[in-house]
Amino acid sequence: MSVNLTDYPLFDTSVVTPDQALLDELAASYEATLGGAAREMERFLFGTVPVEVFDRIFAGAGEAAGNNADTGPLLWLMHLSGYFGGRWLRGEIVTAQPEAVIAQVSIPPTSAGFASTLEHTKAALEACRARDDADVVAYARSSLFDEPAPDGTEPVRGLTDNFGYNLGYLLEILASPPEGLNAGPGFQIESDGLFGCSYASPRLAVLPTLFDVRAAISVGQPPYESLFAELLPIQDAGVLRGRAVWSSGLSVQGFSQRSYDQLLDVSSSFLETVQATALTMARAVVSRDAAQARRGALANAAMVVWLAAYRDGLLDGAGPIGLPTFTNG
């Protein structure tokens, strides 16, 4: 089985490198888990693929590479997942709510925007491969905070805000499902404190290994009390913004049960990846563990690529929205 890709934007770069064989390998592995059930491109490309990428990163993939031979294909998978995920969500919103604000917006991806994304991606990769352990630990700390924009516009959001926003967004769409529909028990989450979230159906393999960090940092226990005090207000602000965006400008009203379930599945999986990356970076900072920081830096590079591609897909209003398809043979 293989994945037949439809058109998507990818500007010239050696950092994000296509690897059709890897994509097909993941598709075959995904099909093997279905037990004869129907294949769903949405769940594969937007949920299974990112989880597999992060499972590989947290298992050590790409750490020893002095170039992009190992990391480039992983970043490409995240680029695909993000762009088509944004396009899919745009299509679902516009179909359910033809008068939605997003339906009136059409901003095509640009090479300048992609270049900006690559700057942040390369910074994360350079930290991952830095010779000086102190440099990569410093990057781990900085990744948790927002980076002010030089022109005074919207800041580049760090992992803490990213976690807060996506937590708030997921809590909001769970609390306000499409009229007449409900979220199944497998999609429920429980949040508590800084970087604290439990999932009814967790998927990311690394999260159980980070339980000690989560238990301590969520309530500000030593040695995380300083980070807790600095980061909790950032997370809280992100939660409020996530709830606000998805209770005013965006909503899931009018979604079918299938589309709603798919969005919950994808959103929960993505929140796990942000949580795992943030917890890894927090552990690296307090223990000055460069190995953990390098792993977290590569995960953050993947996060940067995914989020930028997702925004591009969500705002791209050109032409019909066609997802990739599965092909046999």
Structure-token pair, residue 58: 């947290």
pLDDT digits (tens, 9 = 90+) for 260-295: 999 999 999 999 999 999 999 999 999 999 999 999
**329/326 Cα distance (integer angstroms):** 10
Query: Looking at residue 1, what is its pLDDT?
Result: 83
3-state secondary structure of 327: strand
In 3-state terms the chain splits into helix, strand, coil percentages (rounded to 5) of 60, 5, 35
Q: Is pLDDT above 70 for 329?
A: no
Query: Looking at residue 151, what is its pLDDT?
Result: 66
DSSP class of 44: I
**128/62 Cα distance (integer angstroms):** 9
3-state secondary structure of 11: coil
Query: How many CB atoms neighbour CB 177 within 10 A?
Result: 17
Q: Is pLDDT above 90 for 37?
A: no
**160/302 Cα distance (integer angstroms):** 16
**15/69 Cα distance (integer angstroms):** 9
Q: Please report, as a single letter, which amino acid is at residue 107.
A: I
**58/37 Cα distance (integer angstroms):** 29
pLDDT digits (tens, 9 = 90+) for 296-325: 999 999 999 999 999 999 999 987 888 999
Residue among 48, 6, 5, 46 nearest 28 (CA) = 48
User: What is the SS3 string spanning 160-206?
Assistant: HHHHHHHHHHHHHHHHCCCCCCCCCHHHCEEECCCCCEEECCCCCCC
Q: What is the pTM of this model?
A: 0.94
Whole-number percent of the chain with pLDDT over 70: 96
Structure-token pair, residue 287: 């223990």
pLDDT digits (tens, 9 = 90+) for 82-105: 999 999 999 999 999 999 999 999
Q: Is 159 within 8 Å of 143 (Cβ atoms)?
A: yes
